Amino acid sequence: MTTPTSIDATEQLLASRDYVADRQLATAVFLALKLQRPLFLEGEPGTGKTEIAKVLAAGLGAELIRLQCYEGLDIGAAAYEWNHARQIMEIRLAEAAHETAAGAREQLAAGLFSERFLIERPLLRALRPPTLPYRVPPVLLIDELDRTDEPFEAYLLEVLSDFQITIPEWKTVKADTPPVVILTSNRTREIHDAVKRRCIYHWVDYPSAAREFEIVRRKVPQAQAALSRQIVVFVQELRTMDLYKLPGVAETIEWSRALLALDAVALDPETVNNTLGMLLKYQDDIARVQGSEAARIVEKIRSEVAASSAG
């Protein structure tokens, strides 16, 4: 699959893998591909940030290389590591063979920091040429960057701006063709400007009702359209409330699957009350919605449906 040549084509590429992007996101993705710039996606949980990278990799026929960030992530886990055990074994073997002449020692020392003893981690692997069956550069997903710390962000700068990694004991590895780089953050803290400046930035917002409906139709096609519409209206209504944690698209999809499993054909207060845990993950939020509030929203949806079928 070739790189899309327009925003429309980018939208189609994403849609072919059931990803429903709005125009702004499709534009950001198109530009990231065209200009070979990393794409920085920030937004609420469950709004489709990680999914973009998966869908792009599948759509482009590229390998997905994923770096899941966490507190304390270091270069050894993210970029590369020397295989110390193998290096030591090599030294012992040389000693056993009595290779103690000065020339042999130097040769051994030089060889210890060569490709043979290098363990590639995601960042380094993403800069290497694609290996079969892949024929195009990989998609590198640096997921949840806000979970790491600032020194790691600083380390990323070389990768993001020059698509290269300097390995002091060996050489600088530079990508022939840059990978497609997607970074995501849930904004539990601000990412440094220096990182953002090297990227195309896009805020992934909750979808409009129309787009969320299309997402549910694609992801849970077995559910009847009427039910899916009610589900979306309900979730969108919840998002206008002052809750501790609003439901994301992921929750809308999960709730749809749950209601389908319960053979529901329409929302009713009891079913909603019994399944709120699919949408809300904090007891305080559930307590606020359960009961009268849930009944109010269901009633509102019913009267809207009645009004639209009457008119």
- Residues lying near ligand ATP in the complex (CB under 6 A): 18-21, 43, 45-51, 184, 186, 215, 219, 249-250, 253
CB 164 within 8 A of CB 127: yes
CA distances from 171 to 126, 151, 166, 258 (A): 16, 22, 6, 53
Cβ-based nearer residue to ligand ATP, 49 or 229: 49
Q: How far is the CB of 98 from Mg ion (least distance, A)?
A: 56
Q: How far is the CB of 195 from ligand ATP (least distance, A)?
A: 18
Contact partner at residue 20 from Mg ion, ligand ATP, none, CB < 5 to 8 Å by partner kind:
ligand ATP
Q: How far is the CB of 301 from ligand ATP (least distance, A)?
A: 22
Contact partner at residue 255 from ligand ATP, Mg ion, none, CB < 5 to 8 Å by partner kind:
none
Binding mask 13-52 for Mg ion (x = CB under 5 A): -------------------------------------x--
Q: How far is the CB of 119 from ligand ATP (least distance, A)?
A: 27
Residue appearing with tokens 């993950």? 281
Cβ-based nearer residue to ligand ATP, 128 or 211: 211
Task: Count Cβ neighbours within 10 Å for each residue of 96-119 and write b for 16 or more, e otherwise.
Answer: eeeeeeeeeeeebeeebbeeebbe
Q: What string of DSSP letters covers 22-65? A: -HHHHHHHHHHHHHT--EEEEESTTSSHHHHHHHHHHHHT--EE
Q: For 128, left (φ over 0), alpha (ψ -120 to 50), or beta?
A: beta
The reply to whether 148 sits near Mg ion by the rule CB under 5 A is: no
Residues in contact with Mg ion by the rule CB under 5 A: 50
